[in-house]
Structure 1
Amino acid sequence: MPRKICFVNYKGGVGKTSMIVNIAACLAHTGKKVLLVDLDTQSNASIWLMRLDRWNKLNINGEGSIFSIFEPGQQTLSDILVRDVVSSKTDENLLPGFDLLPTTFNLVDLENEFPANPAEPPFLRFYRQLREIENNYDYVLFDCPPNVLRASQCGIFSSNEIYVPANPDALSLIGFTLLVEKLLLFHQRSASFREPGMGRPALCRGVIFNSIKANVDIEVPKMRMQLRINQFRNQRRIDPTTKIFEAQIRDAMVVRRAVTLGLPVTLVGQVAKEEDSVATDYQRVAAELDQHEAMA
């Protein structure tokens, strides 16, 4: 059974997509089978990994993305799966076992225009279809927008764990606080839809500091975040093992370059070989995430 993990914070702009794409790539590089599920209507992870030319075809056709499973004549998640998504411009497979469930801009219609069936809300349909393919993977990672609306609910309902990307600032702390409150409300409202064998609803298990600028002291923001984690842990609103990751990710121009190239940072030329680079940061976070499983 895979580990199913949401990356979400109620604050946007924390570098969530760059984090999830590069962590997924690091896990795949170590031989793990990884499925990245893009549930963010901005589609950044899908555009990055498929490159604009391939992704544009999905966006124009209106088929082959996650929203397709909610439309008449539905495709299934199995139908839209993009296998071995990380490739060179000559279609050479660069990261075997790294697959993608892509999204396009039409996913925003799930929030307002989709006529939800009260007996089968979108998150339940998504969960049932994901169940058909999830055991092909060691990890299923959900890239969620900064909210707990319908698209995010698909990932949250299906996942076992939640990790919060954060910047060393007050807004990330506020976003974490709001997320915990909204998660509890959603879990209460969706409790009647949980099926046998699902286990408990996903709770926050970790905070990962990301996009840290050079020469910035993050000890005070970390202390404030730790105090909030302690408070929530005492209130049993988060997982007892929740922690701030020791590994953290620096800000680096190569991340923007990687997006342009359509590659994870670990595959960008010389950077991947440097001993002290942001690629190493992602590798350390991925390793800590992999090890954190034993504490569950």
Structure 2
Amino acid sequence: MARKISFLNYKGGVGKTSLIVNTAACLAANGRRVLLCDFDTQSNASIWLMRLERWNKLNADGHGSVYSFFEPGGVQLEDLIVRDVVQDKGGKPALPGLDLLPTTFNLVDLENEFTGDPRRPAYLLFQEQLAEVAKNYDYVLFDCPPNLLRASQCSVFSSNEIYVPSNPDALSLIGFTLLVEKLGRFQQLSAGFRTTAMGTPTQIRGIIFNSIKTGVDIEVPKMRMQLRLNQFKAAKRASSDAKIFDTQIRDAMVVRRAVTLGLPVNLIGQESAEATRDNVVQDYRQLAAEIERHEP
């Protein structure tokens, strides 16, 4: 059974997309079948992995992204997946095993223009088809915007784990706290739609410190985050095995360069010593390995 994980924090700007893209790429490089579902209306993960030229065509067409699934007479979810999304300069697969459910800017219409049956909310429709698609994967990862509106609800309802990308600052702690509050309300709202086949409702299982700049001391922010996490665990509002990950992702120029190249950083490392010098490739590899060890 695929592990289904949402990457979500109510604070924006924590480097969530770079974290999920590069973690997914490292999992795929380890031989795992990975589906990355982009539910962030900014479309950053889709633009990165498809590269701008391919993504522009998808955005201009208005069809073929995840929003097409929710339109009247929408297509099947499986038909929207971009297989082996990462390509080399010749257009051939560069990272077999990493697939993408892409999004475009029209996903924002899901919040105001979705007119489905209220007895079958958008998140239930999505989960039902994802259950079949997920059988083909080891991991399904969801890139979520910093909220719990309809798009994020599809991700959270369909997943069993939430990892919280964070920076070593007070705003990340506030965002984490708000996320737990909103998550509790959504779980009450959606409880009647859950089935035993879906497994346990999604739980906070990890906090990942990301984009840490050189010379920044994170011990005090980490201590405060651990204290808050302990409080939520004691109140059973986070998984009993939830933790702050040992792996910490350093800030590195090569990550920003990777977006321009349309490649995850572990593929840039094959072509350049830049990624190795920054050591961020090793960070992502260690994080992928730690996620694998942190099974529910």
Instruction: Classify the TM-score, shorter chain.
Output: over 0.9
SS at match of 2:198: coil
Q: Give the aligned residue type for 2:44.
A: N
SS at match of 2:68: helix
Q: What residue in structure 1 maps to residue 165 of structure 2?
A: 165
Q: What residue in structure 1 maps to residue 261 of structure 2?
A: 261
Deviation at 1:5, TM superposition (A): 0.3
SS at match of 1:87: coil
Q: Give the aligned residue type for 2:157.
A: F
- 2 CA distance for matches of 1:226 and 1:107? 35
- 2 CA distance for matches of 1:27 and 1:213? 25
Per-residue CA distance 1:38-64 (angstroms, 9 max, x = gap): 000000000000011111111111100
Q: What residue in structure 1 maps to residue 288 of structure 2?
A: 286
Q: Give the aligned residue type for 2:290.
A: E
- 2 CA distance for matches of 1:119 and 1:78? 24
Q: Give the aligned residue type for 1:274.
A: T
Q: Quote the sequence identity (%).
A: 67
Q: Give the aligned residue type for 1:287.
A: A
Q: Give the aligned residue type for 1:117.
A: D
Residues 265, 271 of structure 1: 8 Å contact kept: no
Deviation at 1:271, TM superposition (A): 4.2
Deviation at 1:200, TM superposition (A): 1.8
- 1 CA distance for matches of 2:196 and 2:217? 46
Q: What residue in structure 2 maps to residue 91 of structure 1?
A: 91
- 2 CA distance for matches of 1:200 and 1:259? 35
In structure 2, relative to structure 1, the CA distance for the partners of 1:161 and 1:272 (3 Å cut) is farther
- 2 CA distance for matches of 1:12 and 1:143? 12
- 2 CA distance for matches of 1:195 and 1:258? 40
- 1 CA distance for matches of 2:274 and 2:77? 32
Q: In the alignment, does 2:181 pair up with 1:209? A: no
Per-residue CA distance 1:190-214 (angstroms, 9 max, x = gap): 0111123112210100000000010
Q: In the alignment, does 2:162 pair up with 1:175? A: no
Q: Give the aligned residue type for 1:150.
A: R
- Greater shift after overlay, 74-83 or 9-18? 74-83
In structure 2, relative to structure 1, the CA distance for the partners of 1:107 and 1:231 (3 Å cut) is same
Deviation at 1:92, TM superposition (A): 1.9
Deviation at 1:270, TM superposition (A): 2.1
Q: What residue in structure 2 maps to residue 73 of structure 1?
A: 73
TM-score by length of 2: 0.97
- 2 CA distance for matches of 1:287 and 1:234? 27
Q: What residue in structure 2 maps to residue 140 of structure 1?
A: 140
SS at match of 1:132: helix
Q: Give the aligned residue type for 2:226.
A: Q
Alignment of 1:82-121 (within 5 A): 82-121=82-121
Q: Give the aligned residue type for 2:12.
A: G
- 2 CA distance for matches of 1:89 and 1:143? 26
Per-residue CA distance 1:236-258 (angstroms, 9 max, x = gap): 10000010000000001110100
Q: What residue in structure 2 maps to residue 54 of structure 1?
A: 54
Q: How many residues align?
A: 294
Deviation at 1:276, TM superposition (A): 5.9
Alignment of 1:167-246 (within 5 A): 167-246=167-246
In structure 2, relative to structure 1, the CA distance for the partners of 1:147 and 1:271 (3 Å cut) is farther
Deviation at 1:273, TM superposition (A): 6.9
- 2 CA distance for matches of 1:38 and 1:277? 27
Residues 28, 96 of structure 1: 8 Å contact kept: yes
Q: Give the aligned residue type for 2:46.
A: S
- 2 CA distance for matches of 1:237 and 1:133? 29
Unaligned runs of 5+ residues in structure 1 are: none
- 2 CA distance for matches of 1:276 and 1:178? 33
Residues 162, 204 of structure 1: 8 Å contact kept: yes
Q: What residue in structure 2 maps to residue 25 of structure 1?
A: 25
Residues 271, 279 of structure 1: 8 Å contact kept: no
| Aligned residues: CA RMSD | 1.1
Deviation at 1:275, TM superposition (A): 7.1
Q: Give the aligned residue type for 1:83.
A: R
Residues 254, 274 of structure 2: 8 Å contact kept: no
- 2 CA distance for matches of 1:137 and 1:3? 8
Q: Give the aligned residue type for 2:191.
A: A
In structure 2, relative to structure 1, the CA distance for the partners of 1:256 and 1:273 (3 Å cut) is closer
- 2 CA distance for matches of 1:73 and 1:200? 31
